[in-house]
Structure 1
């Protein structure tokens, strides 16, 4: 197996270090392609200060570990992950694009006023030559176990103006290794006086799961969790329907439907 350490140099990222192509430098890409041609399994240790547009053999590596720019104990920490002494538990704080031209790419982008209708690609608020999705979404991350989520459940379909609703899901480790899972709660306000993000992160829960273990993760939602900064620049919530997810990333899961009732 080849452990390939590649990515950006420290001087390539940070203040006043914008790049038109946020890709791995060409010489490193060529090295990855040459290693892939040998047929050996390849693990990429990615050094970087931003989301990168990964291509070719790097994108297709058997595993990718995002190491960012770490401190003096980076070597020891990375070794613990690689040798299985600790299960990876990090989650991406930004989405990795498919192409550089997709940037800036936000998981919580606003709902477009020009959705695609049918097969007509001529009038849509999207790219013509790439999907409207990231390579790896905000919140994504894998461990050494296999984790599955049940459907999101609500204790009630309607949230009273001054009440609470419990949102829950069962999270299962179906693999043979212990995992530390980060379950994420997202919401989407379907109709509002100001356009709202397609998803907004509202909470997380950390779970240590043994092989074969299933646990229920839950969140209590109130009106304040559904509020946004309104036209008067004040936090406010508006009655209506919301989509609610408990999922392992910002691009997964099937939402439950919740209605916030009027006061």
Structure 2
């Protein structure tokens, strides 16, 4: 049983098919990169999987159960977590408070109007542990909106991981980062994912990031899947080179 299985997934707006008959499988512990030119349908596919838009046709199964039609909140409770292309933090809360909210969201007591001191202390401790993992424990009390762009992206990753997902959807995690920050983030993600069964579905334009992280690459073009395979195989595919990289150009 695959962790995530999309079959014939399709989204149309009128006559426009943003995603058309796409099949994708992600196994536990696997990092799959989703690439393609602008307008290929990557973000729409992410939104379909994450429950943010309603499919026109097809099916999404997660952990063996059909989940198309479930809300984003319900999917999060099942173990699917996501970061966004545009940073989605609470800018007027501290870094610690942002991550602590994610920790609390996974606790059975999240619906209580008042938290006990012991619960507050335990969620704070766990949030600090996640911040330490992404190297931001020293910035715990800074307002999220005052962080550098790179540190905001790392905070988002900490928030997503604090929800203890089985599948993590990363939408352009290094967008806007410097070359140095990007390479640091790639190494951090490798370290965080090592020896875990967390699967990642990654949308990323930076091919250095893609080839540095992905076990497998899926390529979309005009809403359709045109390739799905190991990085070296996809890199050498002339159809991919034509559609994504441009004729005669190969990713390095």
> Shared fold (TM-score greater than 0.5)?
no
Larger helix share, 1 or 2? 2
Q: TM-score range by the shorter chain?
A: under 0.3
Structure with greater contact order relative to length (CA < 8 Å, sep ≥ 6): 2
What is the TM-score with the length of structure 1 in the denominator?
0.21
Larger strand share, 1 or 2? 1
What is the TM-score with the length of structure 2 in the denominator?
0.22
* Greater Cα radius of gyration, structure 1 or 2: 1
